[in-house]
């Protein structure tokens, strides 16, 4: 990230802030399988209507999700599928850290039993 101007880091931080909310991640996961309307997202996430609408607005403003009016409904889809690559990298890193932590605990247990 050393090539990113300091002035741009605020935008990077704002992007990660959008992704730092669990409910927004649930909405993204619901949209991973394709375009959905609010009702379908509510059914999949079990979040309330006001909550889903609020998070969709934030995700849309951040450019992560696109909205497409179709008749009386509005459908939402992922604007940039690369978001899932980013999430996958984070998940892999967390999994690695958890495995390392688990191995350390097992070693400590072994020492304690000796």
Tens-place pLDDT, residues 17-70: 999 999 999 999 999 999 999 999 999 999 999 999 999 999 999 999 999 999
Say which CATH number the domain at 45 has.
1.10.10.10
pLDDT greater than 90 at residue 5: no
Co-location of 57 and 5 in the same domain: yes
Distance CA 98, CA 29 (A): 22
18: which 2 tokens? 């959008």
Tokens, residue 46: 């079990």
* Gap between the Cα atoms of 6 and 64, Å rounded: 23
> pLDDT tier at 114 (50, 70, 90 boundaries)?
low
Q: Do 38 and 58 reside in the same domain of the chain?
A: yes
Q: What is the pLDDT of residues 75-106, one digit of tens each?
A: 999 998 999 999 899 989 889 999 988 888 88
11 pLDDT exceeds 70?
yes
- Cβ(33)–Cβ(68) under 8 Å? no
Quickly state the pLDDT bin for 1 (edges 50, 70, 90): low
Q: What pLDDT score does 7 carry?
A: 83
CA pair distance 27, 23, nearest whole angstrom: 6
- My answer on whether 88 and 63 are in the same domain is no
Same domain assignment for residues 87 and 76: no
What pLDDT, on the 0 to 100 scale, is given for residue 102? Answer: 87
Structural domain range at position 89: 81-114
- Pairing status of strand 65-70 against strand 73-78: antiparallel
CA distance 27 to 45: 7
Q: Give the total number of structural domains in the chain.
A: 2
Strands (E), 1-114: 36-37, 65-70, 73-78
Whether 1 and 56 share a structural domain: yes
The larger pLDDT score, comparing residue 110 to residue 31, is at: 31
């Amino acid at each position: 990230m050393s090539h990113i101007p300091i002035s741009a880091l605020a935008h990077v931080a704002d992007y990660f802030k959008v992704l730092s909310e669990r409910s927004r991640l649930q909405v993204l996961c619901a949209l991973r399988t394709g375009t959905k309307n609010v009702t379908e997202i509510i059914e999949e996430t079990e979040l309330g209507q006001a909550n889903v609408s609020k998070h969709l607005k934030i995700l849309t403003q951040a450019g992560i999700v696109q909205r497409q009016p179709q008749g009386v409904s509005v459908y939402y889809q992922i604007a940039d599928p690369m978001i899932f690559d980013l999430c996958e990298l984070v998940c892999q890193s967390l999994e690695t850290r958890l495995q390392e932590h688990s191995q350390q605990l097992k070693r400590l247990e072994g020492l304690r039993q000796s």
